[in-house]
Structure 1
């Protein structure tokens, strides 16, 4: 099986800051990690490769420093990695991102399965996976908790709020996975050493067959109007009285004044 895993390098969620001028995430100087659900997708790809043979390729769209995320995936066990990086991709919304990833995946050749995390933890849109499947014209199943492959038939257990659905489809297919599907393995020292020596392939807009009007900011039908943190809530007031009845009467008085009762 030829499996592609789409990964995204994201800011560590405990360190997220927003630029007040252009309303974008500040990434410079902020610790970056592989989006956690993408690690579940990689783990599932490795398990499928171990069972059925084949190759696992990780692919990411992002700035040059995103090669660190791809090297981490290589150290965990991926066979190959491609970084799609070009200033022309800047400002892409989920649709423009899906178009770009689709063009790159077509260049890879025949692909049996594409795995993505259910969503990236910075945007939380959960849109790129399904949009990518639409661009490639293949089946898609979201919130996947289990995958079994028998020849060309794929049986998938899909998680939802009331339990699980069991679906059957055929290859090629794109699946977005949830955390419960597996426990991601850790990189080995040997894997890290090998990954650090690997030169990650970088593809620019000129390397993939795509209309320049469909990528980046120009190819994005949506725009971020404003990004902001909600105002900090004021602390509550401590009400004290000489007795319990006195305290309750003071509380009732304040609720009455505020027209809450």
Structure 2
């Protein structure tokens, strides 16, 4: 087993659990309820507090602040959690907050994500696997972001928004409504601009599947999304098309981004 290395200037509170082969760099501060998985690396000047778990083989870069109290005036110090999966790359100045009592009490981050410098993941969010947040993305509270989503730099995601699997958000976008799976979204007040074709092709979608999604998106745009989705629900669809319909008809109080 790899040796666990802790720099003498690091401050590790009694009760913290440090996995086998972890590397804790200079001037890191680790709270008493923190759990670091095997081979987690904290470069330097990293602060991890609260009831926070960081999965194995994750790397956290300098000046990240993980697990501090939520930025929510309703938070009164109740016991809540932040769960971060395996093999994540959390870059400089990233902030991630635990949940709140009113939002379910937990913020969850999946595996294999890349969170570039100065990103923020707020309380009660659910972030899927292989998600990329480019520099200075701000994800507000209670958002659900599916697997394989890419969010371009300096974008903002409004609270309670859902972003479906495989969607791509262009840089400098303000996303105020739900984004369909595999959608391509961009604009200062973001709008749906078709499908994320690059992402679909990278993940093995066939020409037939892409054509079906295009046809479905065109049909959905001819009226209220939920009404049109209900009409399409009984038809024969491929897996990705069914996923889009299930997303539209899933629980949400928000509207959907649509084409201009």
TM-score (norm 1): 0.22
Higher percent of residues as helix: 1
Instruction: Report which structure shows greater RCO (CA 8 Å, sep ≥6).
Output: 1
Greater C-alpha radius of gyration: 1
TM-score of the superposition, structure 2-length normalised?
Answer: 0.22
